[in-house]
Amino acid sequence: MTNLSASADKAAPIDRLAIAVVTEPERVRGAVISAPAGAREDAMRFLLQTAADAGVRTVATKPQGDAERLLGQAWPFPSPFGVTVRTVGLAEGADRVEARARRSLERLGLPRGDVLLVSSAADLLGAEGRALWSRLEGLKAKGLFRRLGFCASAEEAADGLARRLGADVVQVGCNLLDQRAARSGLLDRIAQTGAEVHLSSVFARGLLFAGGEDLPAHMADQAQGLSRMRRRLAEGRCDPMQAALAYAFSLPAVDKVIASVSSAAELRAVIAAAHAPCPNLDWSSLALDAPAAIATDARRYRISSAA
């Protein structure tokens, strides 16, 4: 069994919680992005104020959709948030990567960001990777970003790359259903390089909340595993959101746990779940037998328990 005391030396859950505002259509019914045009800024402002009042201090963004612009119009003043910005892919060219990172700050209405993350570790492994990193170091040297890092998957040797580049932050996907990054020791090895570990996909892209009828064809054979996971959580009197966050916070190498939210209501549910006590569960028994299938699923599921 994994005991939550393993992370006793870490900060309280709310201090480790980060948020990412989600804009996928299937997640935003009645939420920030789907609100009438005149109300979207107010909805975003309410979401951010709810986060600030609760003690959340990190907001993660992506260079897509209208979220950056909405965030830029809605920051509380003074803003308590450190903002993480992600690059576009290197396939668009190094010039575009650098220009879009600058543009993200403009859209966000910020003179500088906290972290700039290369959107894929693969972009740093090829012939252009070192040159790309040098460009981003130039942005850091100019004070546009305080720290640099990259996003990686469980299959990538992110610890070696972090050590070679001197990365400040590495963002890795890991969750209750797909525990590979934790089980392999990858998260611990990244932390040993001195980089902060930021955990993404903590709700398994919403799969934790999906009913059997919602599963795509390639995930159909995981229905039994999902049903088993829910049954064990019910027996332990722990709901999926509560368990997902408790598992993430139990990992001692993790500095930030990124929860995606599309409304203040979802955020309140996440905050409540983060504070709720969870029984000492055998986390390993809750993982899917074929967790890699989650990463290939492009769909996102609504967090119904937070609606």
Residue 109 above 70 pLDDT? yes
Cis peptide leading into 216, omega within 30 of 0? no
pLDDT at 40: 84
Q: pLDDT band for position 218 (50/70/90)?
A: low
Q: Which residues does 134 contact at the CB level (< 8 Å), separation at least 6?
A: none
Residue 28 above 50 pLDDT? no
Report residue 300 as tokens: 């996102």
Domains: count for the chain: 1
Report residue 63 as tokens: 């260079």
Which has the closest alpha carbon to 259: 49, 52, 56? 56
Structure confidence by residue, pLDDT tens digits, 85-101: 999 999 999 999 999 99
Q: For residues 88 and 48, what is the distance between their CA atoms, to the nearest angstrom?
A: 25
pLDDT at 3: 40
Instruction: Name residue 111's amino acid.
Output: P
Residue with tokens 């332990």: 236
From the CB of residue 225, how many other CB atoms can be counted at a distance below 10 Å?
A: 17
> Which range among 15-24, 98-107, 112-121 shows the weakest confidence by mean pLDDT?
15-24
CA distances from 124 to 96, 134, 181, 209, 232 (A): 15, 11, 20, 34, 41
Instruction: Give the domain CATH number at 244.
Output: 3.20.20.100
Residue 270 above 50 pLDDT? yes
pLDDT at 211: 63
Burial 182-214 (b: 16+ CB within 10 A, else e): beeebbbbbbebebbbbbbbbbbbbbbbbeeee
Residue 119 above 50 pLDDT? yes
Q: pLDDT band for position 145 (50/70/90)?
A: very high
Report residue 156 as tokens: 């990538």
Residue 285 above 50 pLDDT? yes
Structure confidence by residue, pLDDT tens digits, 36-61: 656 888 999 999 999 999 999 999 99
Instruction: Name residue 107's amino acid.
Output: R
> Which range among 126-135, 238-247, 293-302 shows the weakest confidence by mean pLDDT?
293-302
Q: For residues 151 and 281, what is the distance between their CA atoms, to the nearest angstrom?
A: 29
Residue 206 contacts residue 261 (beta carbons within 8 Å):
no
What is the mean predicted confidence (pLDDT) over 160-174? 97
Range of the domain at 86: 4-306
From the CB of residue 166, how many other CB atoms can be counted at a distance below 10 Å?
A: 12
Structure confidence by residue, pLDDT tens digits, 148-164: 999 999 999 999 999 99
Collapsing DSSP states into helix, strand and coil, what is residue 141? helix
The mean pLDDT value of the chain amounts to 87
Cβ burial of 3 (10 Å; 0-12, 13-18, 19+) is exposed
Report residue 115 as tokens: 């972290």
pLDDT at 65: 86
